[in-house]
Structures are given as C-alpha cells and as structure tokens.
Structure 1
Amino acid sequence: MKLLSKLLTVLMLVALASCGRGPSSGPAVMAGQGRGPQFGDTAPHPWVGGHPYDHLVHGIDISRYQGDIDWGRVRGSGVSFAFIKATEGGDHADPNFRRYWYEAAQARIPRGAYHYFYFCRSGAEQAAWFIANVPRERGAMPPVVDLEWTPSKTCPRRPPSDEVLREARIFKDILHRHYGQRPIIYTTVDFYRDNNLASWSEEFWLRSVAGHPRLVYPGQRYTFWQYTGTGVVPGIRGNVDLNVFAGSPAQWRKWLNLRLQ
C-alpha cells in the first residue's frame, strides 16, 4: 500500500507540473492549446471574462522595430494576418513598410497597412501622405487608422473631441474613396472613452491587454482584438503585438473574401 501511495503521489505531481503555467513558469502556450496557432508571451496575463487563447484566428501587427522577419516561419506558426505600419502624421514613413508589404505577400499572409494619426496635421494632409506611401492593391486588407493619444514631444496636443472626430472622419473618408474599402478604426481604452467613439458605426480593432473587450468596451462590436504587446512568434526576434479575429475560421474566410476582391 505504501508503494502504491508513493506512485500515486508522483503521478499527481507530474500532472500538476505539466498543467502549471503562469508568469513564473516561462512563456505560456497560447491560442487554443493545440487546436490553433502556438505562440508565447513573455508576460502572460490572467484573463477574466474570456480568453484570447480560445480564438483560432490570430495575427500580428508590426513596425520597423521587429527587424528582419522570417515570414515562412511566421506563416508556419499559424499567423493568419498581419497589419503593417506604413505612415505616421504627415511626414514619417516606416522604413521597413515596403519590404514587409512585399515579403508578407510572398508568404501568402493577408496584410493591411496602418497609419498612426497625429493631431498636429489635418486629416486631409495625413490621408495624402498615407496614399503616397501605400499602394492601392487588389488583395490587400482594409487600411487602418490608429487613433490614440500620442506621446510625441513634437505633437503633445489633445484637441477637443469634436475636432478629433472631424479630422479623423475626413481622413477615413478620403481613404475609403481611394482604396474602395472603409478603413478599420484601431483605438485604445482611454481614447475611445475620451472621444465617444461608441457613437461611430465603424469597424473596430480594439486594444485591451488586461481584460476582455466585452468588459472593457461594453456593448461595442469589434472585428479584431489586440490582446498583448509581449507576444512571441517563431520567425520574429523579440516581442510582438498579437491579435485575434473575433470569429471562427469560417467567418474569417468569409470576411477575407468580402474584402480581398
């Protein structure tokens, strides 16, 4: 009986060790625990109200800080889409945008370009700058306007909400006419609340790294959810932003087919 008791104890400890994953146990396995993509996170979060790992369609958003990317490994890891930074304000272009744009296409990863909106330039100026740098290309996902309060020393102003919404609306309307697709709105919790973005009937990509969007943005519909900035993806050195599509793989294919025409 003592031998049997010791054996059961050992088996229980092994089982507990294999299940224990937390901030102190290294990168966490993500995205469905074997049912979907397998990524890591250098600072995993104890999620409440819903878990991003339950989603099967995951993607990345990147800028020049990701450096050289092995897109074959990225695609093989289960990445289903990539949003690539193209422009910022009215005079800055990401130096890696063109290369990433081409390489992602070669790896057959659906990709879209995003613009970091500044509040010291008009919406029309910024739209012209984005159009000058991002090709109008069949098969690209909709463009994205990144709306958040900028920490830039060159543009510290926080204009009133009516000005923010007016200039952002001008920007996205110009892009809609040029690219033939309504831009997606990326935003953060504070910016969303400060500017009453709930009043916009647009397609949203929501940042929420400490709680499920249904809790952080009550009642807001969204297509994409950015759930961490400390993700680990094979083929990319260092941390990278990870996102999910808010739907099943079948819904993802339908969404793509409607937009990659």
Structure 2
Amino acid sequence: MLRLVPFLFALMLAACGGRAPAPMDTGAIPAPPVNRPNFGDADPASFGRNGPEDHPVHGIDLARFQTDVDWRQARANGVSFAFIKATEGGDLVDPMFRDHWRGAGRAGVPRGAYHFFYHCRPAAEQAAFYIRTVPRVAGSLPPVLDMEWTPFSPTCTIRRAPDVIRSEARIFLDIVEAHYGKRPIIYSTVDFYRENQMWKVGNYPFWLRSVAAHPDEVYGGRHWTFWQYTSTGLIPGIAGEVDINVFDGSREDWARWLAAHAG
C-alpha cells in the first residue's frame, strides 16, 4: 500500500480544483533566545511536584479563537514556539491561519502548522490540501497531524477501527514528510492515543495533551516531545485564553532540536 502513496498523491494534486490559497510571505526569521515564561491560567491544575514549570521552554497553539495577538509581546513574555491551525479535512482553512503565520514569523517565533484530521475523508486528499495551504519555509517547525475523536462534529462522528486509523495516519504523514522534508509530529489526546495505540504508527515525535497530570503518568511513560498542559492559559499580548505547551528538554536541548528538525 505504501508504494502507492506517491502515485495517489500525484493524482490528488492533479485532481484538486478550486482557487489556490492567497500568496503568503515565506521569509524565515532565526529563532530568538528563550525567554522566561510570564504566564497565568484561568483554571490552573495542580500537577504536584512534576509540573510544567520544571520545563524551561514554553509555547502555544492557536486557531481562529485567538483573534488578537501581539506576537512581539507574547515572545517577550515567554512564547518560544507556536503551532498554528492551518487546515481541517480537505476544504477548510482556518480563517486566522495567514495572520498568525505572518505575525509569528515577523516576531521571530518558531512556527509550525497543524492539520485537524477529518475521519470521513481520505488521508491523501487531506495531505494534498495541507500542502496547498502551508508554505514550505526554512526554519519552520515540522508539520503536525492532529488526530482525536470528533463526537461533536456536525458531519462526521464515526469511529473507525484502530488499524484503519493508523493506516490513514501513515498515508498523511508519508505524503507531508516527502513534501516538506521533515519528520512530522503527531498530536493526540489521552483517549484517542490509548484506544488506537497510536505509538504503533511509527517513530514520530509526539505532542500529547494532559491537563490534569504529567504525561509520563498518563501515557505510560511513552516518550513525548511536546506536552499541552492547559487550554486556559493567559499570556500578555494574547487576548483571551490560549493553549500552552512545553518542550521536553532544556534550553540547550531546544536549540539542538530546532537545528535538527526545523532546518
């Protein structure tokens, strides 16, 4: 099946119609030094002795809900990276993606784009749509595949078998890795990760959500690269609440990770 992926991808790109996304600035800006986080939380959790404050490198993920961002102020207050929602399914571009992408880039915040997976559309179509939307820019963070259950979706609430879900994930990941030349990141939630045994997809960096306990406790000690620890963060420069994440490592580890994965 995997041998068919490049051929299927070529067909998808050739067959995709509609107007191309508007041109975007693609100048890469070197990553700034890591600043000490100056964050609050509207609904803080108690993580005990093993909390996010033990990790020096913090960042955010955001989408259309964050409509007012002063990126330079956010960077000065400890935002060291940003994952920005780009696409969902095969036809939805987040309305704030271009503004967030430009703003983060101009402020020197390392930025990456994530795709929210739609379980009622072929993975190859979704990968082709992501590639048409997200520019290939030196210095960007790797592409992200966000896979989780969608019980409140108005159009798609199906739950396919774990082996099907993992197969679809591999198709998407293979296509975007071939295009961007970077090993993608997988984002997942506790229930989705466990029920679909997402660690079996392959040797990918994982970005895991855990808002009540350290991910080492929740995910059985499996390795993670990014941890989303709250969705109610408060950061100077960002109006309203925002998701906050940490990188698993020191400032020096972060510099090495960027050099290896964001070239």
Q: What TM-score, normalized by structure 2, do the two folds share?
A: 0.84
Which residue identity is paired with 1:134? V
Residue in structure 1 matched with residue 3 of structure 2 by the alignment: none
* Counterpart among 241, 244, 248 of residue 243 in structure 2: 241
> Identity over aligned residues, as a percent?
56
Residue in structure 1 matched with residue 41 of structure 2 by the alignment: 41
Q: Distance in 1 between matches of 2:248 and 2:70?
A: 26
Residue in structure 2 matched with residue 175 of structure 1 by the alignment: 176
Q: Which has the larger radius of gyration?
A: 1
Q: Distance in 2 between matches of 1:75 and 1:49?
A: 27
Query: Higher relative CO (CA 8 A, sep ≥ 6), structure 1 or 2?
Result: 2
- How far residue 53 of structure 1 moved from its aligned partner, in angstroms, is 1.2
**Residues 149 and 158 in structure 1, CA contact (< 8 A), matched pair in contact too:** yes
* Counterpart among 209, 230, 233 of residue 232 in structure 2: 230
Does residue 64 of structure 2 align to residue 64 of structure 1? yes
Q: How many residues are aligned here?
A: 227
Indicate the SS of the match to 1:72: helix
Alignment map for 1:98-247 (pairs within 5 Å): 98-150=98-150, 151-199=152-200, 200-247=202-249
**Residues 49 and 212 in structure 1, CA contact (< 8 A), matched pair in contact too:** no
Q: Distance in 2 between matches of 1:246 and 1:129?
A: 30
Q: Distance in 2 between matches of 1:251 and 1:91?
A: 37
Indicate the SS of the match to 1:69: coil
**Residues 49 and 211 in structure 1, CA contact (< 8 A), matched pair in contact too:** no
Residue in structure 2 matched with residue 74 of structure 1 by the alignment: 74
Q: Greater shift after overlay, 153-162 or 195-204?
A: 195-204
Q: Distance in 2 between matches of 1:190 and 1:152?
A: 17
- How far residue 49 of structure 1 moved from its aligned partner, in angstroms, is 5.7
The unaligned stretches of length 5 or more in structure 1 are: 1-34
Q: Distance in 2 between matches of 1:122 and 1:58?
A: 34
Indicate the SS of the match to 2:168: helix
Indicate the SS of the match to 1:79: coil
Q: Distance in 1 between matches of 2:190 and 2:108?
A: 32
Q: Distance in 2 between matches of 1:198 and 1:181?
A: 19
- How far residue 120 of structure 1 moved from its aligned partner, in angstroms, is 0.3
Q: Cα–Cα, structure 1 residues 77 and 123, in superposed 2: closer, same or farther, change >3 Å?
A: same
- How far residue 210 of structure 1 moved from its aligned partner, in angstroms, is 0.5
Residue in structure 1 matched with residue 54 of structure 2 by the alignment: 54
Which residue identity is paired with 1:254? R
Which residue identity is paired with 2:190? V
**Residues 49 and 215 in structure 1, CA contact (< 8 A), matched pair in contact too:** no
- How far residue 260 of structure 1 moved from its aligned partner, in angstroms, is 2.6
Residue in structure 2 matched with residue 251 of structure 1 by the alignment: 253
Q: Distance in 1 between matches of 2:238 and 2:93?
A: 21
- How far residue 98 of structure 1 moved from its aligned partner, in angstroms, is 1.1
Q: Distance in 2 between matches of 1:193 and 1:259?
A: 26
Which residue identity is paired with 2:106? Q
Q: Distance in 2 between matches of 1:80 and 1:165?
A: 31
**Residues 39 and 234 in structure 1, CA contact (< 8 A), matched pair in contact too:** yes
Which residue identity is paired with 1:198? W
Q: Distance in 2 between matches of 1:69 and 1:48?
A: 31
| CA-atom RMSD in angstroms | 1.1
Q: Greater shift after overlay, 44-53 or 125-134?
A: 44-53
Q: Distance in 2 between matches of 1:237 and 1:36?
A: 20
Indicate the SS of the match to 2:80: strand
Indicate the SS of the match to 2:81: strand
**Residues 147 and 186 in structure 2, CA contact (< 8 A), matched pair in contact too:** yes
Does residue 86 of structure 2 align to residue 86 of structure 1? yes
